[in-house]
Amino acid sequence: MNPYQAPLADMKFLLEKVFDAPTTWANLPELTDAVDMDTAQAIMDEADKIARDLIHPINRSGDEQGVRHEGGKVITPDGYKAVYDQYAEGGWVGLCGDPELGGMGMPKMLGVLVDEMAYSACNAFTLYGSLTAGAALCINAHGTDELKQKYLPNLYSGEWAGAMDMTEPQAGSDLRNIRTKAVPQDDGSYLISGSKIFITGGDHDLTENVIHLVLAKLPDSNGISLFLVPKIKVDDNGELGEANGVTVGSIEHKMGLKGSATCVMNYDEAQGYLIGKPNRGLVCMFTMMNYERLAIGIQGLGTSQAAYQMAADYAKERTQGVAAGGSATGAISDPIIVHGDVRRMLLTIRSYTEAGRALSVFTGQQLDLAKYAEGEVKAKAARYVGLLTPVAKAFLSDRGLDAAIMAQQVFGGHGYIRETGIEQLVRDTRIAQIYEGTNGIQAIDFLGRKTTGDNVTALTELLAELEDQLQSFANVSDTHKQAISSRFKALLTAAHHINDNKITQPALINACAVDFLDAFGHLIYGYFWLLMAERSVDHEDTDFTTVKSQLAEFYMAKILPKVDYHLAQVNAGDSMIMAMEEAIF
């Protein structure tokens, strides 16, 4: 396999030219002195080296060796511990963490790009740091000052790890049925008892402690509360003490992500501490879940980039057949890059990947504004974050699997065997559509809560803003502008129809949600392609401008019409889906 190379020029272009990160940061006092483009470029350059030289080399070996559960201990693959120590020493776990508690305080606009590089290099390894960063975010948002001071510095430094413990055998997407109990104690702590399954990074040998955020029920309550439960108890001086009744029952044997420890966790009167208010645990946990949902979307994006690089390199090296009309060089066989179908797949992967990166940076920008801005700017950004998070998770991870499969197809039979490495990407990224809330649930959230939940207000607001920007583009044809504008209107028409009929047709949202999210995803990607083409016109590298222009043309001609297909599915309603009697299935 060729070593991973981060698309640094594209990343810099998005930050500097497309979304004007320097102005965003300059207008936010907490970021003004923390970061500028020189700082951002230095961080991206170093992240590229870390991803290429440290993380990527353990990707294949970690998949082959996998995680082991021996003598009650979870052992990660050879090399993981050494790489993790260097990764943590560099401050990468706490990149976007609170600087007053040991984090680096970098903006999320930059963080999403660093995350993408790490996921491109190795999905399984990157999950450990991602879960820790998400747990720290939740503790910082909802924990007491005492909990923050006691746990966050060691989480940001990577000395301790974090995990999110929600799912139980009988309670997956519907957490109302969890059975884990929390019994209050006189000292203000709680004793946690129960079991959880599918816990990513639930235990491992990378850190000396794992801090679990556990959903549990208080006695005589149907509400769900959130508790911080360390694997090893921590005394008042921050020193580690005795084991806390947190043990691993087993590890899951999975299709992919074999270097990531997915554990069955048991809690036997483990001491825990309430985060947030009693019976409001899901509100607190969603802070972490929404972070992880964006991160898992970026897992799909990272897979897309890695898959494209591998497939494009292979297509330029592998000879098979001759070009239509005969070989330009007179060779017996040409590299398969000359064939139209291979180019179709590569262009599809690349056009999805680069637009997906734009979506991730745009979402990161809204997160920064929602966190650091004030007044209506802050409120509007929060509305956009709510709207975009389920889309980023579902659309990026769906397209990530599509990209991995198309790249595997470019390899042909060689893509189905272990040696080339592309089949690992297919296995590793498949879970991204399932965990952190299945993509069907993301779609229902997007359509049912975020779109029709406020009577289409936030979606209308976002599309109106994008429409105003679209009409200001001076280097994009009126035909392309109209192609996006007319579909903005069609999407809103469909949204209003569903909103008007959601009460009388209770199955409508559930039946149409995935197609509605896919219509929106393909449409906003089209907008981003015109935005990137517009902003690349004066780029110092004329080849860069040409590539962006040609990819935009490809997307508008070949991919954008999928919006019409998905809207047709939405407009067909739910009757044919719900008509068949259950017994006939």
Active site residues: 436
Q: 438 — phi, psi (to 5°)?
A: -55, 160
List the alpha helices (DSSP H) in 412-507: 422-430, 439-444, 457-471, 478-501
- DSSP 8-state secondary structure symbol assigned to residue 318: -
Residues 6+ away with beta carbon under 8 Å from 31: 24, 25, 105, 107, 368, 372
359 to each of 38, 298, 404, how far by Cα in Å? 23, 10, 19
User: Which of 151, 152, 147, 144 lies closest to 104, judged by CA?
Assistant: 152
**Helix (H), strand (E), coil (C) string for 383-421:** HHHHHHHHHHHHHHHHHHHHHHHHHHHHHHHHHCCHHHC
Q: Residue 428 and residue 414: Cα distance in Å, rounded?
A: 18
Terminal alpha carbon distance of the chain: 45
Continuous segment of H or E residues that includes residue 249: strand 246-251
Beta strands in 101-189 (DSSP E): 160-165, 181-184
CA distance 283 to 552: 40
Give 452-455's long-range contacts (Cβ < 8 A, gap of 24+).
452/495, 452/498, 452/499, 452/502, 452/509, 455/499
Whole-number Å distance between alpha carbons of 182 and 269: 8
